[in-house]
Amino acid sequence: MEKPGNLFLKKTFVVITGASRGLGRCMALQFGAKFPATSVLVLMARNVEALESVKSEVLSLAPNISVLVRQYDQGHSENKDYFKDIFNEIIAENNFSQADFEQYMIVHNCATIGDVSKRSLELSDSTSVRKYYDINLTGMILLNTSFFQTFSDSTKSRVVVNMTSAGTSTPVPPLQLYCAGKAARDMYMRVLAVEEPSLRILTFAPGASDTDMMRGVENMCPLKSMVEMLKQFRADGTMTLPDVPISKLVQILEENRFENAVYVESDKLF
């Protein structure tokens, strides 16, 4: 592993999943403005139209980087080869080479909240539970494997940012699937860090952010205590716009002093 240094200084091939809105959009904008010219930013999500809009925003701030859009469904489990050559294809289609870059980075931001209308003992549909983890765990693991099979040069800087939640260590009913999925992702990253010490891995919890996902919880959650807690977060300023925690994420990556694969919070919620 290289000595610590600002992770935004090298020409980088960087991938952000869930980049069409919310935290992912803010990452695209702030990261795009930080990386040096000729870096490549790959935005991945299901909604191509929204991705194209984010691409335009990024290029207005950072016209000298390349921004690519890739339609991506992290829950796509029917085709066993769906994840296999994603990054090889992007490299080939755009006439890039792995050797063109000094650093490779992937940000695992894609996530869903699950069905917040059900308590734990009401989860009886195996298809819906399996689909949830296809999106929020299995798909992330397969994409991560694909990324590092394409970018396998361990002599270069290789970085993973795992977007997580305070729900990994604090039970938050009725977000049982969400909490369990995030906890599983965090432990996967901790094991990965031991197995592959050349990787630089940051597990980052952005805290309570005013996103579509958060508003979905507020609107659909039947648990009054949860709704009241979120309202209080809004009232006292604990809940922030997405650009606030992402600015802190950028600072952490610039300083590059975090312990590998250890949970880092933007702000402590519980």
How do residues 26-66 score in pLDDT, each as one tens digit?
999 999 999 999 999 999 999 999 999 999 999 999 999 99
Report the mean per-residue pLDDT for the chain.
Answer: 94
* 165-184 confidence digits (pLDDT tens): 999 999 999 999 999 999 99
Q: Which residues contact 70 (CB under 8 A, 6 or more apart)?
A: 42, 43, 44, 51, 86, 90
The band of 1, judged by pLDDT with boundaries at 50, 70 and 90, is: very low
Output the six-digit token pair for 4.
Answer: 């610590």
112-166, pLDDT tens digit by residue?
999 999 999 999 999 999 999 999 999 999 999 999 999 999 999 999 999 999 9
Which amino acid, 33? A
The tokens for 186 are 């965090």
In the DSSP assignment, the letter for residue 137 is I
Q: What does the domain layout of the chain look like in residue ranges?
A: 12-264
Say if residue 174 is preceded by a cis peptide, omega within 30 of 0.
yes
Residue 77 is predicted with a pLDDT of 76
Indicate the CATH number for domain 12-264.
Answer: 3.40.50.720
Q: Tell me the whole-structure pTM to 2 decimals.
A: 0.95
Per-residue pLDDT, 270:
59
d(CA 41, CA 270): 34
Give the percent of the chain with pLDDT over 90: 84
Residues sharing a CB contact under 8 Å with residue 235, sequence separation 6 or more, in sequence order: none
State how far the Cα of 247 lies from the Cα of 226, in Å rounded to an integer: 27
Adjacent-strand bridge partners of 13: 40, 104
